[in-house]
Chains A and B, each alone.
Chain A
């Protein structure tokens, strides 16, 4: 019998990424579906998840999101969206005949994990399933090099999504939970912040989350020289290279929003949104949460704090393998800025390398697909029989989540020493091999300033 494909679902708070493990090699087959129930006033219709593709009028959309601060709280809404996804029309397979690989948030609450189990086995009746965090799937992907190459044994995955940003150290394929750090800044907060700025300064956009999200995605960038850019934007002059004019969409004429070209003439009916320091001060919050009064360390500082909690002799490897996933990392200039912030925090002798993904949103999905393809995937899953026998306990025993991983680490406290020695031996060779980052690798060893 031919092996049935695995349904892969990266269940994000903003979008779900959905596909089958046996589909084409690249991830272009992946369907990205809003994880929301959206009411369009103009269309007088409520769209559930994937139906949103039919939406034509994006003004004053009302959102109902299953997630609150990164965790599924509204199961009614989540079920409504999943009901549309887990059908034969959408998937091409019957859920009762396949297995599932689904992502869950970091530090997912135990009581929520049980609901995941219940939905998978009781509502959709999958044969087997595996539940994992997005970062834990990255070692299977290509963020740090082609799968054929040896993956680095130590890596930091920076996952900056819709709800929050996590810094996740991974050692030999396993998350070091004691060093995971969370910054409560995500894409949702950034969009809302931009909405506020614009509404106060120019147009009232408080109800236009959808439009402001696309403005954010088109106009915003991460600066490496905040002070200088701020100075440039002090006055609205013509020769300000940062200032962009965004033509707001007009849904009655079916016109999408876009940035005005330099020598373009505007129509009288066009509504122009001037994007000055908003362009970089919004993503800046990821690096300086204090700018909006959120009393948390920025991204670079948090990464340094996370690495400081890892074994001394391996810290250099973590500095040299920092990978970026999640939608926020798509802001132009993100990696460059992070690197320039990190360099002074890292020890002089350490090489700091930041790996960028071509499609940061799909990176976890890509890893999930290659895990699902592996012959060993069967060892990771909990089967329906096991669940019917042991309930959620079966899942708790099987899945390496933050609880099981941490309690098992305590048991073999002697083990790390042994593995560290091994690590050192290996460090020389694989590190040399891995030295071919996929996308971006920038090194500024010159700008070294040792920090305490």
Chain B
């Protein structure tokens, strides 16, 4: 088992604060020697008996340290690409709290308007508008219009159904018109303050510029759950 330097220092810190006691199974209590922590970890944790109150804590720390190490090595470009894509999708949102948007205007008026619609399966927002308006002359929409209004499809579905993917390759379409990749490599900008980010977080690979921003990053931004 290997504990990387970073985790070890954390452990050491914790141990010092709690002044753990531990003893080999056979002997008396001994104090944990922070400088030997690596070697403790190298052995199976159960070889030591910790002070009862601390045992669970220390064991979990040692275990977490090991998992973290594996995670860092597993963190590759694929994970980062996934994270970037998620972020880009978020940037296309119309509202931060997205789920409620599809029910926009529905919540409060649902009860009153819904009942007056005489048990219609679904009420559309365009209907509601004309109902709340003068409503004097309302002509019936054609079948085409009604199905367009009632059955909302997202863009991916529409692209799928449009069949533009199967057009001959020499034709430009939405799918082929996207500009090419950039010629220059990406710049590293601090994910906290926006200045040049010269360093990358060991755990999540986000750039930051100095110790200050590293601190903020570790506390708030670092995606430890990237595991």
Interface residues of A (CB under 8 A from B): 37, 39, 44, 46, 48, 62-65, 68-69, 71, 73-77, 79-80, 83-84, 106-107, 109-112, 115, 118-119, 122-123, 166-167, 177-178, 180-184, 188-189, 192-193, 195-197, 200-201, 206-207, 209, 230, 233-234, 276-278, 281, 288-298, 301-302, 305, 402-403, 406-407, 410
Q: Is B53 an interface residue (CB 8 A)?
A: no
Tell me if B179 and A293 are in contact (CB < 8 A): no
Find B145's partner among A110, A118, A192, A406 (CB 8 Å cutoff). A118
Residues of chain B within 8 A (CB-CB) of A84 are: 129
Tell me if A297 and B179 are in contact (CB < 8 A): yes
Q: Is B105 an interface residue (CB 8 A)?
A: yes
Q: Is B47 an interface residue (CB 8 A)?
A: no
Tell me if A37 and B155 are in contact (CB < 8 A): no
- Closest Cβ neighbor of A199 among chain B residues: B96
Given known pairs A48-B129, A77-B126, A109-B162, the reply for A298 and B149 (CB within 8 Å) is: no
Residues of chain B within 8 A (CB-CB) of A294 are: 84, 88
Tell me if A180 and B87 are in contact (CB < 8 A): no
Chain B interface mostly: loop
Bound complex: CA A107 to CA B192 (Å): 38
Bound complex: CA A249 to CA B150 (Å): 38
Closest beta carbon of chain B to A359's beta carbon, Å: 25
Chain-A contact segment, one of B2-10, B37-45, B183-191: B183-191
B window 73-94: CB within 8 A of A:
84, 87-88, 90-94
- Closest Cβ neighbor of A51 among chain B residues: B129
Q: Is B111 an interface residue (CB 8 A)?
A: no
Residues of chain A within 8 A (CB-CB) of B172 are: 107, 177-178, 180, 402, 406
Given known pairs A79-B145, A177-B172, the reply for A193 and B193 (CB within 8 Å) is: no
Find A188's partner among B92, B153, B170 (CB 8 Å cutoff). B92
Given known pairs A39-B105, A277-B194, the reply for A123 and B142 (CB within 8 Å) is: yes
Bound complex: CA A200 to CA B148 (Å): 40
Given known pairs A39-B104, A79-B149, A292-B91, the reply for A206 and B194 (CB within 8 Å) is: no
Closest beta carbon of chain B to A225's beta carbon, Å: 14
State how many residues of chain B have any CB contact under 8 Å with chain A. 64
B window 152-206: CB within 8 A of A:
152-155, 158-159, 161-164, 170-174, 177-187, 189, 192-196
Bound complex: CA A162 to CA B152 (Å): 21
B window 20-71: CB within 8 A of A:
none
Tell me if B195 and A234 are in contact (CB < 8 A): yes
Q: Is B97 an interface residue (CB 8 A)?
A: yes
Given known pairs A115-B148, A123-B142, A207-B95, the reply for A69 and B182 (CB within 8 Å) is: no
Bound complex: CA A60 to CA B27 (Å): 65
Tell me if B182 and A288 are in contact (CB < 8 A): yes
Find B125's partner among A80, A112, A182 (CB 8 Å cutoff). A80
B window 103-146: CB within 8 A of A:
104-105, 108, 124-126, 128-130, 141-142, 144-145
Bound complex: CA A37 to CA B95 (Å): 12
Given known pairs A37-B125, A109-B164, the reply for A230 and B194 (CB within 8 Å) is: yes
Tell me if B129 and A293 are in contact (CB < 8 A): no
Residues of chain B within 8 A (CB-CB) of A276 are: 194
Bound complex: CA A118 to CA B144 (Å): 7
Interface residues of B (CB under 8 A from A): 84, 87-88, 90-97, 100-102, 104-105, 108, 124-126, 128-130, 141-142, 144-145, 148-150, 152-155, 158-159, 161-164, 170-174, 177-187, 189, 192-196, 220-221
9 A/B residue pairs, CB under 8 Å, sorted by A: A37-B105, A64-B102, A73-B154, A112-B158, A118-B142, A166-B177, A281-B189, A289-B182, A297-B183
Tell me if A62 and B186 are in contact (CB < 8 A): no
Bound complex: CA A39 to CA B125 (Å): 12
Which of A64, A167, A288 gathers the greatest number of chain B CB atoms within 10 Å?
A64
Closest beta carbon of chain A to B143's beta carbon, Å: 9
Residues of chain A within 8 A (CB-CB) of B163 are: 110
Given known pairs A123-B141, A230-B196, A290-B182, the reply for A75 and B125 (CB within 8 Å) is: no
Given known pairs A109-B164, A118-B148, A403-B171, the reply for A295 and B182 (CB within 8 Å) is: yes
Tell me if A293 and B186 are in contact (CB < 8 A): yes
Residues of chain A within 8 A (CB-CB) of B95 are: 62-63, 207, 209
Tell me if B179 and A192 are in contact (CB < 8 A): no
Closest beta carbon of chain B to A100's beta carbon, Å: 16
Given known pairs A37-B105, A118-B144, A296-B182, the reply for A180 and B177 (CB within 8 Å) is: yes
Tell me if B141 and A76 are in contact (CB < 8 A): no
Residues of chain A within 8 A (CB-CB) of B145 are: 79, 118-119, 122-123
Find A109's partner among B84, B174, B196 (CB 8 Å cutoff). B174
Residues of chain A within 8 A (CB-CB) of B196 are: 230
Residues of chain A within 8 A (CB-CB) of B162 are: 109-112
Given known pairs A76-B126, A189-B92, A297-B183, the reply for A181 and B177 (CB within 8 Å) is: yes
Residues of chain A within 8 A (CB-CB) of B220 are: 200
Residues of chain A within 8 A (CB-CB) of B187 are: 288, 290-291
Tell me if A64 and B158 are in contact (CB < 8 A): no
Tell me if A278 and B194 are in contact (CB < 8 A): yes
Bound complex: CA A74 to CA B105 (Å): 15
- Closest Cβ neighbor of A112 among chain B residues: B158
Closest beta carbon of chain A to B9's beta carbon, Å: 27
